[in-house]
Amino acid sequence: MKNILTVLLICTGFIANAQKSTENLIQYVKPIVGTQRMGHTFPGATVPFGMVQLSPETDTIGYEMDGKYNPDVYKYCAGYQYEDKTIVGFSHTHFSGTGHSDLGDFLIMPTIGTLKLNPGTADKPHSGYRSPYSHQNEVSEANYYKVKLDEHNIIAEMTTTTRVGFHQYTFPKSDNAHIILDLMAGIYNYPDKNVWTYLRVVNDTLVMGFRQTNGWARTRTQYFAMTFSKPFIAHGYKNYSKREVYGGFWGKFNQTKNFPEIAGKQIRAYFDFKTNEGEKIKIKFALSPVSMEGALANMKAEARTWDFNKVKNTGQQQWEKELHKIVIAGDKETKENFYTSMYHTMINPTVYMDVDGRYKGLDQNIHKANGFTNYTTFSLWDTHRALHPLFNIIEPQRNADMVKSMLAHYDQSPENMLPVWSNSANENWCMSGYHSVSVIADAMIKGNAPFNVRHALEACVNTARHRDYQGIGYYMDMGYIPDEKDGNAVSSTLEYAYDDWCIAQMAKKLGNKAIYNEFSKRAENYKNVYDPATGFMHPKLADGTFRKKFDPLTTIGQGFIEGNAWNYTLYVPHDPVGLIKLMGGNKRFVTYVDSLFSFNLPDKYFAETEDITRDGIIGNYVHGNEPSHHVAYLYNWTDKPWKTQERVRMILPKMYKPTPDGLGGNDDTGQMSAWYIFSSLGFYPVAPGSDQYAIGSPAVDGAVIQLAGGKTFTIHVNNQSARNVYVQKIVLNGKPLNTLFLKHADIINGGEITFYMAATHQ
């Protein structure tokens, strides 16, 4: 074992090097895409928070089968399944790690030989334009994807700017080379998903158009401009739409071959070339939420060159800048886990505006973002827990702009509500709670609030008082949501109580005593669904009695969304002290949490819940689904805080591995990864909306966090190892830290903290 002086010298050397680190950190980013059941992270190219996320699709599984939901489609939330043997093409929009899906816009596929406009099937790939491929010929890096399409002997390469996808296809010699643009393809697709598509051939290198879909987002319109590095020699279309009752007089033209435009619901287009051996045909494909001209302007602003490697390198430099915001010391696997997690946290939310600041708003009108970047893709049920708190440390300006985007959403909302789960000028209303208030409160309480804070409080209050949204009226009148009125009555009651506490903290900071009192009282509503007879949060009927038929292990039909009573009973992040008292005191509470980790949950209890899988469970603790993410840290409010350190260090290697199936659940647009980042650094935001972080057990050998204004927060970890998981002593800025909590100011003002680790707890 190294003596303390040696360790300190090593750490000091690391810190000096970290502050001027030029190490290539993207080398540690691995294409972790999920398990066979949960392949929800795409392996393609994107820049940080990019509008374009260019990635392969590996099948065409539809949302429905025989008029019903097809459960196999769930594997394709991100379009890519590692186990698949074929690639259908490359599309430009994706969600990363979600449990529901949409997007997959504008699929492109290069082919040679006989033109085939049908994608074919996985078992008969030669029947269509799809191609077999091998992982041996696949490369996935930050902002770069490469694969060999075996069917056609074509090398496909992808890179991006914020709003432009850049394709490079290396062809063999052929007189019949084609590039297919499939406007029918999509993720979670079904025959009527396309509302309308339009394509216009401007000249022999420029094509423009749009696609409007009715899916998870019911009025989503995406515009594009597509330009080729080489003129095509012919082009054509096929319209697969059912014959309309009335289609005008377009029959005067032959629209299928070399016609300048086409419109319809189900269209595939193709562009023909002659190629020499090894010839590269490049495509720039720009997106816009506003117009085709906006897409073209985005392309001209961001991708002025045809130098593929230059665009790739520029994007990778953007990733290096972002990844260097936290420089860690650790072994190769630790770095791979850490920087893959960093990468995942910076894919979403996504920029949603043109280079001139214009974007389509929730009211479907065109707006301009004045003084901020407008974002979309807010999976707030997930990301309020750790992703946005992480942004308040390493991406404060972006997070402030995200809050401004949420407030713009509120201003444009016909329902006068903040976002719940929003994307592309649409509110998707997915999941429960109104957790945008958590994000806003966290930013405000932590001093990252360059926005109208009184307007923000008004937006939060109006959202929380929206009586006809998911039981809020019952919640306001009765202090809980009756079981008969909502299938997620208990979990929604618990989530509303936490969000209401967040509103109370905002009101307190602004000196609004009336709002503070109202929402502080509402924040205690979690107590109304606790049943001391069963020891669980329990579905409660309108008459005030608890439901008799109740199974605390089952995840379906028990009043909870994507979880069971065992896990959700602990969902009171804003008042652990009150929860411990409610549950019978310290001894019983510790026994309860211990049992959560040690009890084996049989598969039958979560078989019907798509977002919970065996690989995301430890005992009965469901780490692969976010409501439990704070649970390991609750021991800090008991007399056995060392158990937090023990549990955190057990969870980290079990749930995160640098392998293709290395995540123990949905990444959910970065929340799983944000948990890893905080926990491996040694602290975690149990209750966003406070300025407090609970101490855990650092799993890195050291770290330097780059802060705004050139400040740094340095983490020294002495004697850290897989065995030495217990914190013996903490020194903050030269003084002993005699508490199990850090303040946000301790971090954001800069300084250093030193953890002294050992193999036994005190």
> What pLDDT is recorded for position 603?
79
Going by C-alpha positions, the residue among 404, 410, 411 that lies closest to residue 374 is 404
Residue-range definition of the domain harbouring residue 177: 32-320
pLDDT at 10 over 50: no
Going by C-alpha positions, the residue among 207, 206, 204, 213 that lies closest to residue 266 is 213
Residue 752, SS3?
Answer: strand
The answer to whether residue 54 is domain-embedded is yes
pLDDT at 749 over 60: yes
Which residue in the block uniquely carries the two structure tokens 């700017």?
161
Q: Residue 731: is it exposed, middle or buried by C-beta count within 10 angstroms (0-12/13-18/19+)?
A: middle
Which residue in the block uniquely carries the two structure tokens 């109006």?
462
C-alpha 98/C-alpha 108 separation (Å) is 23
Q: Residue 489: is it exposed, middle or buried by C-beta count within 10 angstroms (0-12/13-18/19+)?
A: buried
121-141 pLDDT, tens per residue?
Answer: 998 888 999 999 999 999 999
659 close to 653: Cβ distance less than 8 angstroms: no
> What pLDDT is recorded for position 18?
58
Task: Indicate the residue type of 150.
Answer: D
CA distances from 149 to 91, 113, 184, 395 (A): 15, 14, 21, 38
* Pair type for strands 621-622 and 261-264: unpaired
The answer to whether residue 71 is domain-embedded is yes
The answer to whether residue 266 is domain-embedded is yes
391-438 pLDDT, tens per residue?
Answer: 999 999 999 999 999 999 999 999 999 999 999 999 999 999 999 999
Who's near 324: CB < 8 A, 6+ residues apart? Answer: 21, 25, 706
Residues 54-62: what's their mean pLDDT? Answer: 94
pLDDT above 70 as % of the chain? 96
Going by C-alpha positions, the residue among 385, 384, 431, 432 that lies closest to residue 406 is 384
CATH code, domain carrying 286: 2.70.98.10
72 close to 113: Cβ distance less than 8 angstroms: no
The answer to whether residue 428 is domain-embedded is no
C-alpha 695/C-alpha 675 separation (Å) is 13
Please, which pLDDT band fits residue 1 given cuts at 50, 70 and 90? very low
623 close to 567: Cβ distance less than 8 angstroms: no
The answer to whether residue 285 is domain-embedded is yes
Which segment of 15-29, 192-206, 280-294 scores lowest on mean pLDDT?
A: 15-29
Q: In what order do the strands lie in the sheet with 206-213?
A: 138-141, 144-149, 154-160, 164-171, 279-288, 220-228, 206-213, 194-201, 261-264
Q: Helix 489-510 vs helix 453-464: angle between axes, to the nearest 10 degrees?
A: 150
Residues 577-581: what's their mean pLDDT? Answer: 98
Kindly write down the DSSP assignment for every residue of 315-360, as one continuous string. Answer: HHHHHHHHHTTEEEE--HHHHHHHHHHHHHHTT-SEE-S-TTSEEE
Sign, Cα dihedral of 159, 162, 165, 168: negative
pLDDT at 363 over 70: yes
166-223 pLDDT, tens per residue?
Answer: 999 999 999 999 999 999 999 999 989 999 999 999 999 999 999 999 999 999 999 9
Q: Which two tokens mark 340?
A: 């893959």
743 close to 692: Cβ distance less than 8 angstroms: yes
C-alpha 56/C-alpha 139 separation (Å) is 12
Helix H or strand E encompassing 684: strand 683-684
User: For the chain, what's the residue count?
Assistant: 762
The answer to whether residue 296 is domain-embedded is yes
> What pLDDT is recorded for position 20?
61
Helix H or strand E encompassing 727: strand 726-732
Residue 399, SS3?
Answer: helix
Rg (the chain; Cα; Å): 26
Kindly write down the DSSP assignment for every residue of 233-286, as one continuous string. Answer: SEEEEEE-PPPPS--TTGGGS-TTBS-SEEEESSEEEEEEEEE-TTEEEEEEEE
Give long-range contacts, CB 8 A cutoff, 24+ apart: 253-260.
Answer: 258/234, 259/201, 260/200, 260/201
Which segment of 34-48, 549-563, 677-691 scores lowest on mean pLDDT?
A: 34-48
Phi, psi of 44 (to 5 degrees): -85, -155
C-alpha 122/C-alpha 132 separation (Å) is 9
Going by C-alpha positions, the residue among 564, 591, 596 that lies closest to residue 580 is 591
> For residue 107, what are the β-bridge partners?
182
C-alpha 201/C-alpha 720 separation (Å) is 61
> What pLDDT is recorded for position 742?
98
Give the CA-trace dihedral at 422, 439, 498, 602, to 10 degrees: 60
pLDDT at 19 over 70: no
The answer to whether residue 682 is domain-embedded is no
C-alpha 285/C-alpha 623 separation (Å) is 38
The answer to whether residue 555 is domain-embedded is no
Q: Which two tokens mark 622?
A: 């469901």
Name the domain count of the chain: 1
Residue 721, SS3?
Answer: coil
pLDDT at 5 over 70: no
Residues 481-500: what's their mean pLDDT? Answer: 97
